[in-house]
């Protein structure tokens, strides 16, 4: 009678990718019971890692300031209670701009969690290294800066067309090819075509005036685009493989890659390369605007707010939270940036780790309602009416020429309340404010998407 997978399970082994080879070897060599036991010793599996019996403590830096925020705050706290049972986690915090992102147990936007010797791809999500960069244009005319930027930047799906692509450094391409997760010619080709692009959703190019100096500032907000999304997909597959082997009770979206493994070290290195790509992407856009205007920058600083940060054997996962502590950013060049919404200033802040913030601050204003809910609440007005009311006095542009009301100011939490809670909980200190002049966003890229046009053509 042939040895099979059920026999391995009866012997206490959990299904694994080595089952097939082991079964083949046992049957081909006609091993007896003692020989089977000796042979299988090499495949001895570690004990399963259970969830924490009770959720690890986390700090709550948020409260409902209005009844419309009650549901959001309750959901954020509930999802953290489930999340903090994940076996690797030792600490957590939620910021004033927090909002849920999916089913209960999934890390919320505005959430920070600390894992021991583990990287959780689901905690940074597909938009790895979503970040903000500021360049000081001195006394340049803000309209001229916005016009120049509009002619240079690129929003929407996909990358830049051939002939309009911005160069990705050869050094970075070579580094991609040396990493197990990024050594993929299709991924590298996408990384090249997406250089100098900003995507869609809440990503923006903002121009404003420093309250302190009167200088014109350009601020961009976007992440790692398709290269980052590709790394996330690969990371989640590896993490889920580990989850099935060592902690099947853990929710799939909370799976982790043990850092001490070969895969863990390689994934950590891949994250740093994607971070470098993202910073290079911001820099390409800013430098192109400076060159077009023949201006030298007066200052520049940058920070991510959707990433993983390492301190010894602890991995701080910030899902939409601004790192304050210098230890998190080896290339720190200045204060941090917290954008709120297109009609509010971008805050320039500084801060240190304290008993409430774990070394982080909010990353923006967050949402109380989904995009769809928000649109429904404004259904009694035309899109043009909503746009006129919410952007009065500002130069607001949509790259697709289609207004997206789910990105207008009322789609977000009250900036005033977020700022008040930053102060109340002592999360960081505001050094300056970039007062809004204008902003470019992708707009409603779904409205006239190419695939929708094709469908209409086929129907005709």
SS (H, E, C) 10-44: HCCCCCCCCHHHHHHHHHHCCCCHHHHHHHHHHHC
Per residue in 29-43, pLDDT (tens digit) is: 999 999 999 999 999
Mean pLDDT calculated for residue range 313-323 = 97
Whether the per-residue pLDDT at 407 is higher than 70: the answer is yes
Per annotation, catalytic residue among 194, 282, 363, 374: 363
pLDDT of 455 above 70: no
How far apart are the C-alpha atoms of 356 and 201, rounded to whole Å?
30
What angle, 0 to 180 degrees and rounded to 10, lies between the N-to-C axes of helices 262-293 and 170-177? 170
pLDDT tens for residues 53-65?
999 999 999 999 8
DSSP characters for 121-161? HHHH-SSTTEEEEEEE-TT--HHHHHHHHHHH---SSS-PP
Tokens of 60: 């709550």
| 298 dihedral zone (left: phi>0; alpha: psi -120 to 50; beta) | alpha
Contact 441, 407 (CB under 8 A): yes
- CA-angle at 37, arms to 33 and 40, nearest 5°: 130
Asked which of 9-18, 132-141, 170-179 is least confident by mean pLDDT, the reply is 9-18
- Indicate the pLDDT class of residue 460, thresholds 50, 70 and 90: very low
Average pLDDT (83-95) is: 98
**pLDDT band at residue 373 under the 50/70/90 scheme:** confident
Token duo for residue 9: 């399970």
pLDDT, tens only, 185-214: 999 999 999 999 999 999 999 999 999 999
Task: Return d(Cα 40, Cα 403) in angstroms, integer.
Answer: 63
Does residue 296 carry a pLDDT above 90?
yes
Q: Which of 376, 372, 412, 410 is nearest to 390 (CA)?
A: 410
Band (315; pLDDT cuts 50, 70, 90): very high
- Give the pLDDT confidence score for residue 367 in this predicted structure: 83
Predicted TM-score (pTM) of the model is 0.91
Record the tokens describing residue 435, joined without a space.
């007062």
Binding site for GMP, by residue number, is 305-306, 339-342, 363-366
- Give me the pLDDT at residue 457, please: 44
pLDDT above 90 coverage of the chain, percent: 85
343, 308 contact by CB (below 8 A): no
Instruction: Spell out the alpha helix ranges (H) of 129-261.
Output: 142-152, 170-177, 185-194, 225-246
CA-to-CA dists, residue 49 to 53, 246, 395, angstroms: 12, 6, 54
- For the ranges 95-104, 206-215, 430-439, 440-449, the lowest mean pLDDT is seen at 440-449
Instruction: Please write the tens of the pLDDT for every residue from 137-165.
Output: 999 999 999 999 999 999 999 999 888 99
Residue positions forming the annotated binding site: 203, 221, 305-306, 339-342, 363-366
Reduce the DSSP state of residue 374 to 3 states and report it. helix
The stretch 265-278 carries a mean pLDDT of: 98
Task: Give residue for tokens 């080896």.
Answer: 330
**Cα angle 416-421-427, degrees, rounded to a multiple of 5:** 125
CA pair distance 320, 366, nearest whole angstrom: 9
Annotated binding site for Mn(2+): 203, 221, 305
CA dist., res. 441 & res. 59, Å (int): 33
* Cβ neighbour number for residue 126 with a 10 Å cutoff: 20
Q: Let me know if 194 is a catalytic residue.
A: no
Q: Give CA–CA dist 384/63, Å, rounded.
A: 33
Least confident of 316-320, 366-370, 399-403: 366-370
CA distance 219 to 202: 13
Q: What is the pLDDT of residue 451?
A: 47
Mean pLDDT of the chain: 94
Average pLDDT over residues 78-101: 97
CB 363 within 8 A of CB 95: yes
pLDDT, residue 398, reads 96
| 456 has pLDDT over 70 | no
Least confident of 128-142, 174-188, 365-379, 395-409: 365-379
pLDDT tier for residue 449 given thresholds of 50, 70 and 90: low
User: Between the CA of residue 75 and those of 62, 114, 338, what are the distances in Å?
Assistant: 12, 20, 24
Inform me whether the pLDDT recorded for 13 exceeds 80. yes
pLDDT at residue 217 tops 60: yes
| Among candidate residues 153, 235, 155, the one with its CA nearest the CA of residue 187 | 235
Nearest to 363 by CA among 142, 130, 15, 198: 130
């Amino acid at each position: 009678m042939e040895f099979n997978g059920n026999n391995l399970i009866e012997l206490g082994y959990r299904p694994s990718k080595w089952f097939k080879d082991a079964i083949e070897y046992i049957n081909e060599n006609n091993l007896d019971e003692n020989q089977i036991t000796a042979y299988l010793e090499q495949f001895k599996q570690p004990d399963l890692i259970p969830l924490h019996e009770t959720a690890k403590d986390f700090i709550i830096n948020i409260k409902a300031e209005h009844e419309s925020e009650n549901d959001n705050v309750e959901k954020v706290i509930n999802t953290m209670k489930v999340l903090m049972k994940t076996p690797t986690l030792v600490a957590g915090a939620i910021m004033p701009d927090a909002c849920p992102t999916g089913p209960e147990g999934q890390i919320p936007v505005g959430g920070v969690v600390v894992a021991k010797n583990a990287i959780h791809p689901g905690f940074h999500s597909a938009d790895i290294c979503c970040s903000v960069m500021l360049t000081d244009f001195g006394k340049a005319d803000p309209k001229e800066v916005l016009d120049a930027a509009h002619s240079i930047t690129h929003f929407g799906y996909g990358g830049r067309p051939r002939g309009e692509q911005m160069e990705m450094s050869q050094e970075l391409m070579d580094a991609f090819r040396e990493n197990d997760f990024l050594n993929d010619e299709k991924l590298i080709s996408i990384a090249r075509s997406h250089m100098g692009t900003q995507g869609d959703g809440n990503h923006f190019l903002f121009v404003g005036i420093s309250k302190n100096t009167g200088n014109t500032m350009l601020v961009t907000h976007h992440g790692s685009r398709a290269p980052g999304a590709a790394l996330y997909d690969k990371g989640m597959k590896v993490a889920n493989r580990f989850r099935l082997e060592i902690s099947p009770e853990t929710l799939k979206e909370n799976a982790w890659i043990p850092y001490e493994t070969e895969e863990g070290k390689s994934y950590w290195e891949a994250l740093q390369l994607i971070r470098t790509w993202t910073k290079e992407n911001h820099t390409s856009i800013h430098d192109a605007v400076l060159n077009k205007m023949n201006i030298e920058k007066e200052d520049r600083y940058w920070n991510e707010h959707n990433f993983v940060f390492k301190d010894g054997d602890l991995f701080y996962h910030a899902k939409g939270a601004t790192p304050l502590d210098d230890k998190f950013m080896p290339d720190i060049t200045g204060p941090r940036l917290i954008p709120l919404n297109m009609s509010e200033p971008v805050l320039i802040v500084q801060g240190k780790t304290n008993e409430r913030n774990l070394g982080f601050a909010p990353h923006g204003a967050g949402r109380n309602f989904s995009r769809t809910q928000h649109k429904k609440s404004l259904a009694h007005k035309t899109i043009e009416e909503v746009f006129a009311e919410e952007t009065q006095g500002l130069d607001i542009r949509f790259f697709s020429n289609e207004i997206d009301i789910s990105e207008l100011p009322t789609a977000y939490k009250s900036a005033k309340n977020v700022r008040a809670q930053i102060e109340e909980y002592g999360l960081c200190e505001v050094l300056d404010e970039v007062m809004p002049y204008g902003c470019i966003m992708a707009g409603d890229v779904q409205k006239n998407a190419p695939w929708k046009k094709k469908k209409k053509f086929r129907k005709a």
